[in-house]
A and B are shown apart, each in its own frame.
Chain A
Amino acid sequence: MAQEIVEVTESYPALDAFYDSLPDKNGALIPMLHKAQEEYGYLPQEVQLYVALKLGIPASKVYGVATFYSLFNLERKGQYRINVCLGTACYVRGSEAILEALENELKIKRTETTGDGLFTLSSIRCVGACGLAPVVMVGDKVYGRVTPDDVRGIVDEYLGKAGEHND
Chain B
Amino acid sequence: MSSGTGQVRIALRNCGVIDPESIKDYIATDGYDALAKALFDMSPDEVVETVKKSGLRGRGGAGFPTGIKWETARRSESDIKYVLCNADEGDPGAFMDRSVLEGDPHCVLEAMAICGYAIGASQGIIYVRAEYPLAVKRLQIAIEQATDMGLLGDNILGSGFSFNVRLYFGAGAFVCGEETSLMNSVQGGRGEPRLKPPFPAVKGLWDKPTNINNVETYANVAQIIRNGWEWFRQFGTEKSPGTKVFALAGKVNNVGLVEVPMGTPLRVIIEDIGGGIRNNKKFKAAQTGGPSGGCIPAEHLDTPIEYESLISLGSMMGSGGMIVLDEDDCMVGISKFYLTFTAEESCGKCTPCRIGNVRLLEILDRITEGKGEEKDMDDLENLGNTIKDTALCGLGQSSPNPIISTLRYFSDEYKEHIYHKRCPAGSCSKLIGYKILPDKCTGCTVCARNCPVSCISGERKKVHVIDQERCIKCGVCFSKCRFKAIVRG
Contacts and interface: CB of A to CB of B under 8 A. Distances in A.
Interface of A: 23-24, 26-31, 33-34, 61, 64-65, 68-72, 86-94, 97, 100-101, 104-105, 124-128, 130-131, 133, 147-149, 151-152
Contacts, number: 130
B453 A104 contact: yes
A86 B92 contact: yes
Given A126-B93, A130-B95, A65 B472 contact: no
A136 to B, nearest CB: 13
Contact of A65 (B190, B251, B341): B190
B171 A23 contact: no
B287 A88 contact: yes
Interface stretch (B36-44, B181-189, B414-422): B181-189
**B98, B185, B474 interface centre (most CB from chain A within 10 Å):** B474
A68 B191 CA distance: 8
Contacts of B169: 30-31, 34
A128 B187 contact: no
Interface of B: 91-95, 98-99, 130-132, 166, 168-174, 185-191, 206, 247, 249-251, 255-256, 287, 290, 321, 323, 325, 329, 334, 337-338, 341, 347, 450-453, 472-476, 480
A143 to B, nearest CB: 15
Contacts of A127: 131
Given A30-B185, A131-B249, A131-B255, A88 B95 contact: no
A23 B472 contact: no
Contacts of A88: 91-93, 249-250, 287, 290, 321, 323, 337-338
A97 B173 CA distance: 25
A165 to B, nearest CB: 25
Contact of B474 (A30, A97, A128): A97
B186 A27 contact: yes
B341 A130 contact: no
Given A86-B92, A101-B474, A130 B249 contact: yes
Contact of A130 (B255, B329, B473): B255
24 contacts: A23-B166, A65-B190, A69-B191, A70-B173, A71-B170, A72-B172, A88-B290, A90-B93, A91-B93, A92-B249, A92-B251, A92-B334, A94-B474, A97-B472, A97-B474, A101-B453, A104-B452, A125-B92, A125-B341, A127-B131, A128-B99, A131-B255, A133-B249, A149-B451
